[in-house]
Amino acid sequence: MGKGRLEAFSDGVIAIIITIMVLELKTPEGHSLSALVPLAPVLLSYVLSFVYVGIYWNNHHHMLSVCHRVSGSALWANLHLLFWLSLFPFTTAWMGENYLAPGPTAAYGAVLLMAAVAYWILEQALIVADGKDSALRGAIGSDWKGKSSPALYLIGVALTFWRPWIAQLIYVLTALMWLVPDRRIEKIVAR
Backbone angles phi, psi at 123, to 5 degrees: -55, -45
Distance, in Å, from the CA atom of 97 to the CA atom of 24, rounded to the nearest integer, reads 9
The only residue of 44, 68, 97, 177 in contact with a copy of itself, by rule CB under 8 A:
97
Positions in 3-62 near a copy of itself (CB under 8 A): 5, 7-9, 11-20, 22-25, 27-28, 30-33, 35-36, 47, 50, 54, 57-58, 61
Distance, in Å, from the CA atom of 53 to the CA atom of 179, rounded to the nearest integer, reads 11
Distance, in Å, from the CA atom of 188 to the CA atom of 139, rounded to the nearest integer, reads 6
Positions in 142-161 near a copy of itself (CB under 8 A): none
CB 119 within 8 A of CB 146: yes
The only residue of 103, 163, 169, 187 in contact with a copy of itself, by rule CB under 8 A:
103
Q: Does 86 bind a copy of itself (CB under 8 A)?
A: yes
The only residue of 63, 106, 136, 139 in contact with a copy of itself, by rule CB under 8 A:
106
CB 71 within 8 A of CB 122: no
CB 93 within 8 A of CB 80: no
Q: Does 72 bind a copy of itself (CB under 8 A)?
A: yes
Handedness of CA 23, 24, 25, 27 (dihedral sign): positive
Radius of gyration of the chain (CA): 18
**How many binding residues for a copy of itself (CB under 8 A)?**
59
106 or 159: CB nearest a copy of itself: 106
List residues near a copy of itself by CB under 8 A. Answer: 1-2, 5, 7-9, 11-20, 22-25, 27-28, 30-33, 35-36, 47, 50, 54, 57-58, 61, 65, 72, 75-76, 79, 82-83, 86-87, 89-90, 93-94, 97-98, 101, 103-104, 106-107, 179-181, 186, 189
